[in-house]
Homo-oligomer: A and B are copies of this chain.
Amino acid sequence: MSGFSLETPAVVDVFTEVLKRGPIARIDIARRTGLSQAAVTKAVAPLLLRGLLSAHDNMRPTQPGRPVQPISVNEGAQLAIGVTVRVDEVFGVATTMRANVLHSVTRRLASTSVEAVVEAVAATVEALQRRLGDDAEKVLGVGVAVSGDVDKQHGFVRASPRLNWSTVPFEKMLRDRLGLAVIIDNDVRALSIAEEWFGIGVDAESFAIVTIGAGIGCGLYVNGDVIEGAYGVAGELGHLPLGPSDLVCSCGRHGCVETVASSSAILEAVRSAKHDPLLTMREAVQLARAADPDAVAAFERAAVIIGMALATMANLVGPSVILVAGESVTDFDLYEQRIRESFDEHTFGAAGQCQIVTRSHTFEDWARGAAASLLRASVTRT
A199 interfacial contact with B, CB 8 Å = no
Inter-chain contact B316/A354, CB cutoff 8 Å: no
Q: List chain B residues, Cβ under 8 A from A231.
A: 318, 320, 349-351, 353-354
Q: Which of B149, B222, B253 contacts A227 (CB 8 A)?
A: B222
Task: Report Cα–Cα, A231/B205, bound state, in Å.
Answer: 11
Task: Report Cα–Cα, A286/B159, bound state, in Å.
Answer: 44
Task: Report Cα–Cα, A224/B227, bound state, in Å.
Answer: 11
Inter-chain contact A313/B311, CB cutoff 8 Å: no
A15 to chain B, nearest CB (A): 17
The answer to whether A348 and B318 touch (CB under 8 A), given A223-B227, A242-B241, is no
A154 to chain B, nearest CB (A): 11
A158 interfacial contact with B, CB 8 Å = yes
Least CB separation from A239: chain B residue: B348
Inter-chain contact B318/A227, CB cutoff 8 Å: yes
Q: List chain B residues, Cβ under 8 A from A229.
A: 317-318, 350-351
- Contact residues, A240-287 vs B (CB, 8 A): 240-242, 251, 253-255
Interface string of A119-148 (1 = CB under 8 A from B): 000000000000000000000000000001
Q: Which of B9, B224, B237, B321 contacts A223 (CB 8 A)?
A: B224
Task: Report Cα–Cα, A223/B232, bound state, in Å.
Answer: 13
A220 interfacial contact with B, CB 8 Å = yes
Interface string of A343-382 (1 = CB under 8 A from B): 0011011110110000000000000000000000000000
Least CB separation from A314: chain B residue: B233
Inter-chain contact A345/B254, CB cutoff 8 Å: yes
Most buried by B among A151, A224, A311, A316: A316
Least CB separation from A161: chain B residue: B349
A206 interfacial contact with B, CB 8 Å = yes
Q: Which of B151, B223, B348, B349 contacts A350 (CB 8 A)?
A: B151
Inter-chain contact A318/B351, CB cutoff 8 Å: no
Inter-chain contact B230/A346, CB cutoff 8 Å: no
Q: List chain B residues, Cβ under 8 A from A206.
A: 230
Q: List chain B residues, Cβ under 8 A from A201.
A: none
Inter-chain contact B312/A220, CB cutoff 8 Å: no
The answer to whether A308 and B223 touch (CB under 8 A), given A346-B253, A348-B149, A348-B253, is no
Task: State the copy count for this chain.
Answer: 2
A92 interfacial contact with B, CB 8 Å = no
- Contact residues, A199-243 vs B (CB, 8 A): 205-206, 218, 220, 222-225, 227-237, 239-242
Inter-chain contact A158/B232, CB cutoff 8 Å: no
Inter-chain contact A316/B317, CB cutoff 8 Å: yes
Inter-chain contact A349/B242, CB cutoff 8 Å: no
Task: Report Cα–Cα, A346/B354, bound state, in Å.
Answer: 27
Q: List chain B residues, Cβ under 8 A from A318.
A: 227-234
A67 interfacial contact with B, CB 8 Å = no
A70 interfacial contact with B, CB 8 Å = no
Least CB separation from A320: chain B residue: B230
The answer to whether A316 and B353 touch (CB under 8 A), given A242-B241, A253-B345, is no
Q: List chain B residues, Cβ under 8 A from A218.
A: 316
Q: A149-B348, A231-B318, A231-B354 are in contact. List 6 more A-B contacts (CB 8 A).
A: A230-B318, A234-B315, A239-B315, A239-B346, A240-B312, A241-B308
> Can you name 15 A-B pairs with beta carbons within 8 Å?
A9-B34, A151-B350, A218-B316, A222-B227, A223-B225, A229-B318, A230-B319, A231-B354, A233-B315, A241-B242, A241-B312, A241-B346, A242-B312, A251-B348, A312-B312
